[in-house]
């Protein structure tokens, strides 16, 4: 397919031709309607003028006979203008008027009639169009009263010529404009197609070009770029999960296998074998929990979770989860203070939000007091509260522990990331990855702040409208981070 054929087959060029044809038809109809109405109006006025003049001449004829009629017609014929007169005897001999000769057809006519007559002109004789009313008098005499309407014919010729030239220019401009617009659009489409082929070849970093004009192609490109960014994010998450499974789960599986081999090498001892099996089951349960956490994160990031959304009181949900952790906090010797506050109504998945809140509190209880005084001279304490603002709700979990170094806060949200200070506590490093995924699913985000001392974790969620199930979450403000489990 040649470039010109490809251009002519574009939808834009076809639409341009269609609009050109429709506009041309509309223009022709409009001009024809105006011309037709103008002609009808002029003809009506001409008929009325000639009829009025005939009535006046008829009165003159009745009052003074043929001689007076001839005298009046002779006088009027001397007046310059488009008026035409003729009074002739039965043989066609002119008695008065400015029509020197008439055709047999005009002589035999009766009433209104159009005809062509000749009159002297510079350089010769010219033929002109006229309209007249033929009136027969007693004795075979004829009275003809008319008007020169050559100007009407010239007007019709001018309108016809102008219309043809106008249509020609309109067609030229329309086809040229269609060609130019189609070429511009085709250039952009070819650019989009080239980028799309690059993406189909496996380069998910490619993005559709945006011209900045804000037209429909720009809006389409922006939407597709958001979709591509989301796909790239999901693919990166998939690769990350695969890498995490390959690397981070290899150690516990090897440990599990070594423990079983060690039990098999030991002499037959039912107590030792039972203990080895119990530890193996415990290790297997931990692996199952890790796999379940990875699956939950993948489902959340793919937007395949959160179907059971309902209107709920976030403050009450936070209070209920905090109440469940009070025995754990008491056992660890940590003060757990919950301030639910006034009811905050949002639309979300109760189970996912409850799990996210539980992870935040569990993290604070685990890592908020790694030493007896939190490592900073303050008594161990975890504070859980909710806040409501215009269009958003916040869940705040703050502790008095050692916190997370500022240099590590960009890294700790990744899967299986655990800081050295937290390796003494059980965990897989997936808790806050799950919390961040829940936040994104609900259109919110997770933010880390310094609690001076300790760490303050803020989960912010929208309260107006339904959260996007598979949309891009609001970008967190500067300093938004997460902490590990």
**Mean pLDDT, range 111-135, rounded to an integer:** 85
Does residue 53 lie in a domain region?
Answer: yes
Q: Is 442 within 8 Å of 461 (Cβ atoms)?
A: yes
- For residue 376, what pLDDT is reported? 52
Residues 11-31 pLDDT 10s:
777 777 787 888 888 888 888
Assess whether pLDDT exceeds 60 at residue 45: yes
- For residue 320, what pLDDT is reported? 92
Assess whether pLDDT exceeds 70 at residue 470: no
Does residue 141 lie in a domain region?
Answer: yes
Assess whether pLDDT exceeds 50 at residue 468: no
Residues 328-367 pLDDT 10s:
998 888 889 888 778 899 988 888 899 899 989 988 888 7
Does residue 414 lie in a domain region?
Answer: yes
**Mean pLDDT, range 119-126, rounded to an integer:** 80
Q: What confidence tier does 476 reach under pLDDT thresholds 50, 70, 90?
A: very low
Residues 358-410 pLDDT 10s:
989 988 888 776 554 444 556 688 999 999 888 889 999 998 888 777 777 76
Assess whether pLDDT exceeds 80 at residue 33: yes
Does residue 252 lie in a domain region?
Answer: no
- For residue 305, what pLDDT is reported? 65
- Percent of the chain, pLDDT > 90? 8
- For residue 466, what pLDDT is reported? 45
- For residue 482, what pLDDT is reported? 40
Residue where a domain terminates, one of 156, 174, 205: 156
CATH number at residue 366: 3.30.565.10
Q: What confidence tier does 168 reach under pLDDT thresholds 50, 70, 90?
A: confident
Residue where a domain terminates, one of 122, 156, 190: 156
Assess whether pLDDT exceeds 90 at residue 420: no
Give the C-alpha separation, 433 to 398, whole Å. 18
Q: Is 469 within 8 Å of 351 (Cβ atoms)?
A: no
- For residue 278, what pLDDT is reported? 84
C-alpha dist (Å) from residue 286 to 253, 280, 354, 434 = 11, 10, 21, 16
**446 strand-pairing partners:** 459
> What are the residues whose beta carbons fall under 8 Å from the beta carbon of 110, sequence distance 6 or more?
134, 136
- For residue 4, what pLDDT is reported? 64
Residue where a domain terminates, one of 103, 132, 156: 156
Across 140-144, 228-232, 477-481, least confident range? 477-481
CATH number at residue 63: 3.30.450.20
Does residue 8 lie in a domain region?
Answer: no
Does residue 213 lie in a domain region?
Answer: no
**Mean pLDDT, range 245-253, rounded to an integer:** 70
Give the C-alpha separation, 207 to 78, whole Å. 86
Handedness of CA 194, 199, 202, 205 (dihedral sign): positive
Does residue 294 lie in a domain region?
Answer: no
- For residue 479, what pLDDT is reported? 44
Q: What is the 3-state secondary structure (H, E, C) of the chain?
A: CCHHHHHHCCHHHHHHHHHHHHHHHHHHHHHHHHHHHHHHHHHHHHHHHHHHHHHHHHHHHHHHHHHHHHHHHHHHHCCCCCEEEEEECCCCCEEEECCCCCCHHHHHCCEEEEEEEEEEECCEEEEEEEEEEEEECHHHCEEEEEEECHHHHHHHHHHHHHHHHHHHHHHHHHHHHHHHHHHHHHHHHHHHHHHHHHHHCCCCCCCCCCCCCCCHHHHHHHHHHHHHHHHHHHHHHHHHHHHHHHHHCHHHHHHHHHHHHHHHHCCCCHHHHHHHHHHHHHHHHHHHHHHHHHHHHHHHHCCCCCCCEEEEEHHHHHHHHHHHCHHHHHHHCCEEEEECCCCCEEEEEHHHHHHHHHHHHHHHHHHCCCCCCCCCCCCCEEEEEEEEECCEEEEEEEECCCCCCHHHCCCCCCCCCCCHHHCCCCCCCCHHHHHHHHHHHCCCEEEEEECCCCEEEEEEEECCCCCCCCCCCCCCCCCCCCCCC
Q: Is 448 within 8 Å of 409 (Cβ atoms)?
A: yes
Q: What confidence tier does 182 reach under pLDDT thresholds 50, 70, 90?
A: confident
Assess whether pLDDT exceeds 70 at residue 306: no
Q: Is 338 within 8 Å of 318 (Cβ atoms)?
A: yes
Domain with 106, as residue range(s), is 33-156
Between the two ends of the chain, the Cα-to-Cα distance in Å is: 60
Does residue 107 lie in a domain region?
Answer: yes
Mean pLDDT score across all residues of the chain: 79
**Mean pLDDT, range 314-318, rounded to an integer:** 92
Assess whether pLDDT exceeds 50 at residue 214: yes
Please tell me the total count of domains within the chain: 2
- For residue 473, what pLDDT is reported? 39
Across 155-159, 228-232, 263-267, least confident range? 263-267
More confident of the two residues 46 and 482: 46
């Amino acid at each position: 397919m040649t470039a010109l054929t490809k251009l002519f087959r574009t939808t834009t060029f076809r639409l341009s031709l269609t609009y050109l044809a429709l506009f041309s038809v509309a223009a022709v109809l409009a001009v024809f309607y105006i011309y037709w109405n103008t002609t009808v109006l002029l003809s009506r006025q001409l008929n009325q003028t000639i009829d009025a003049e005939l009535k006046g001449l008829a009165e003159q004829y009745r009052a003074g006979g043929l001689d007076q009629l001839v005298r009046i017609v002779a006088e009027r014929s001397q007046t310059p203008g488009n008026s035409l007169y003729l009074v002739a005897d039965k043989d066609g001999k002119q008695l008065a008027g400015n029509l020197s000769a008439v055709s047999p057809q005009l002589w035999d006519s009766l009433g209104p009639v159009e005809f062509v007559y000749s009159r002297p002109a510079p350089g010769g004789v010219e033929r002109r169009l006229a309209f007249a009313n033929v009136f027969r008098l007693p004795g075979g005499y004829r009275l003809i009263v008319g008007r020169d309407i050559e100007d009407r014919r010239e007007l019709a010729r001018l309108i016809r010529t102008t219309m043809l030239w106008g249509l020609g220019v309109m067609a030229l401009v329309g086809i040229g404009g269609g060609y130019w617009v189609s070429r511009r659009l085709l250039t952009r489409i070819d650019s989009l197609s080239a980028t799309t082929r690059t993406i189909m070849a496996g380069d998910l970093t490619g993005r559709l070009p945006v011209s900045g004009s804000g037209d429909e192609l720009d809006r389409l490109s922006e939407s597709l770029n958001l979709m591509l960014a989301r796909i790239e994010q999901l693919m990166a998450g998939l690769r990350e999960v695969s890498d995490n499974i390959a690397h981070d789960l290899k150690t516990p599986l090897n440990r599990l296998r070594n423990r079983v081999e060690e039990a098999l090498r030991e002499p037959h001892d039912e107590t030792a074998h039972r203990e080895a099996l119990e530890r193996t089951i415990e290790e297997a349960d931990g692996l199952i929990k890790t796999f379940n956490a990875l699956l939950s994160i993948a489902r959340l990031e793919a937007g395949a979770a959160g179907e059971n959304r309902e209107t709920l009181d976030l403050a009450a949900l936070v209070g209920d989860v905090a109440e469940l952790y009070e025995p754990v906090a008491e056992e660890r010797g940590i003060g757990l203070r919950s301030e639910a506050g006034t009811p905050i109504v949002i639309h979300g998945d109760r189970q996912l939000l409850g799990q996210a809140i539980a992870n935040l509190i569990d993290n604070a209880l685990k890592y908020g007091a790694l030493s007896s005084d939190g490592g900073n001279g303050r008594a161990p304490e975890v504070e859980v509260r909710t806040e409501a603002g215009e269009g958003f709700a916040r869940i705040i979990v703050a502790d008095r522990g050692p916190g997370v170094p500022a240099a590590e806060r960009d890294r700790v949200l990744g899967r299986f990331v655990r800081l050295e200070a937290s390796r003494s506590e059980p965990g897989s490093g997936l808790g806050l990855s799950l919390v961040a995924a829940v936040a994104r699913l609900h259109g919110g985000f997770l933010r880390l702040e310094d609690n001076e001392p300790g760490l303050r974790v803020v989960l912010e969620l929208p309260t107006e409208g339904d959260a996007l199930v598979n949309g891009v979450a609001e970008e967190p403000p500067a300093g938004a981070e997460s902490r590990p489990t």
